[in-house]
Amino acid sequence: MTADPRITSINTIHELGLISVEERDDALDELEQHQIDLDDPQLAGLELDLLQANPSLIDTLAWLLTTQVLPADRLRQTLQTLPAHHAGDALSRRRDLIEQTLRHVHQAALKILYDEDLIDPWLRDAAGDSLPAGQLVASPVDALLLIVNQGKLTAKQFNALLARTRSGGSGLAVIIVHATAKRLAKQRPWLARLVTPGRHWLGLIGLPALLAAIVWSQTHDHDVPDCDSGMAQERIAGLLPSFKPGDISEAGYNPRRRIRACIVSAQSGAAQASQGYTIAASIKNDWYDIALAWPELLTARFGKLDKNGDFLRSGVPLGRDAMLAAFRTASAGISGEWSPPGAVHDQLSYTVSHDPAVSIDDLEPLGPCRAVRTGMRYACPVLVALHAERRELLRGEFTLERDAAGQPWAMSSRFASELARARATEN
């Protein structure tokens, strides 16, 4: 009878002295339990953390870490004490196996962050190349925490990511970002106010958070309410008490993130305008979050989805988050007079509160960026919502740049003139 390659691999890890007898037995028990779970019809469809049929030693050691059969502290201790027990090729083999596994687990965590639209390709690649030797990043929460602590994501960028995830992220993305904020709040005072107390899931970190999110997303398969549902109309009436809703239409639906985009005509006296809003599934029981938004932004964002029904990665190669952070940073230095024409959007459109004379509420890239200097300077077509003396939605091409050291993207010195040109074009 042929031996199970998974058992053979676990035994090899034990023979190398990287796990104890008890941990080996726990791993075999875990393997057996996973097979039982696979045969359980009540668990059908769940993404179980399985060890593949013919695993490499790296796959097996990574599986032991992610299932927490092998505690992270134990592996770090083993790595530090290897020279006391081994030398030459024996030492190199064990050390290389651990280091390659740490990189493998880190890359898997970064992939989840990328798939959940929490980091862009540039940040994913930069983070993947900067894992400190011997450091274990066993979950997306650990990976995002490391990115912030290394300065690859600034305070403003993380703040923007937290706000965006709250308003429209998937259940898994919400848990990852809030769990990261929970841990960062202990290190950085500016984050303490961003974490809402009293929600039990904010205390979840690392792998338990992922398990909770996966189970939630797999088991909550009920539909997001329609745009014209009674619940949605009641909430919109509460958000816009002085306006009378008219015709309601759907701008799009993202099944992966379970977000529905809607547009409603509204009237206040003689003024008429359209107002957009989103209905998003929440991880708070069966509640739904409704947020107001510019209709044009929703049309651009939901108008084209990928083959999985998710948002297209817009503004490549920079990505929407990097562009939004750059816009908000640059807008803090702009002042000037903006003559208000009395648009109804002053009453209708949502905004994030900002202190600068000009603040950027939201933006949506309208296509890929044009390389002016590959890797360092790009011109990007953007739909941007700003708030000065009034709220405006502008369309234009804006230049973003960074230096050869790979610092975060920033608006070029032409930002003020490009903003003025976009506003002149709209008017």
Which pLDDT score, from 0 to 100, does residue 214 have? 44
Output phi, psi for 193, to 5 deg.
-75, -10
Which pLDDT score, from 0 to 100, does residue 188 have? 56
Q: How confident is the model at residue 357 (pLDDT cuts 50, 70, 90)?
A: very low
Tens digits of residue pLDDT in 313-356 = 788 888 888 888 888 888 876 654 333 222 333 333 333 333 33
User: Which range has the worst mean pLDDT, 77-86, 143-152, 353-362, 408-417?
Assistant: 353-362
pLDDT for residue 191 is more than 60: no
In angstroms, how far is the first alpha carbon of the chain from the final one?
A: 79
Which pLDDT score, from 0 to 100, does residue 338 have? 34
Which pLDDT score, from 0 to 100, does residue 46 have? 38
Nearest to 82 by CA among 98, 65, 105: 98
Are 50 and 66 a contacting pair, CB within 8 Å? Answer: no
State the pTM of this model. Answer: 0.50
Question: DSSP secondary-structure letter at 395?
Answer: E
Are 191 and 161 a contacting pair, CB within 8 Å? Answer: no
With both helix axes pointing from N to C terminus, report the angle between 171-184 and 155-168 in degrees, rounded to the nearest 10: 150
Which pLDDT score, from 0 to 100, does residue 14 have? 94
Nearest to 161 by CA among 321, 371, 392: 321
Tens digits of residue pLDDT in 227-240 = 888 878 888 777 77
Please tell me the distance from the alpha carbon of residue 378 to that of residue 380, in angstroms, as a whole number: 6
Tens digits of residue pLDDT in 95-126 = 999 988 888 888 888 888 888 888 887 788 88
Count Cα neighbours of 404 within 13 Å in the Cβ-side half-sphere: 0
Question: DSSP secondary-structure letter at 393?
Answer: E
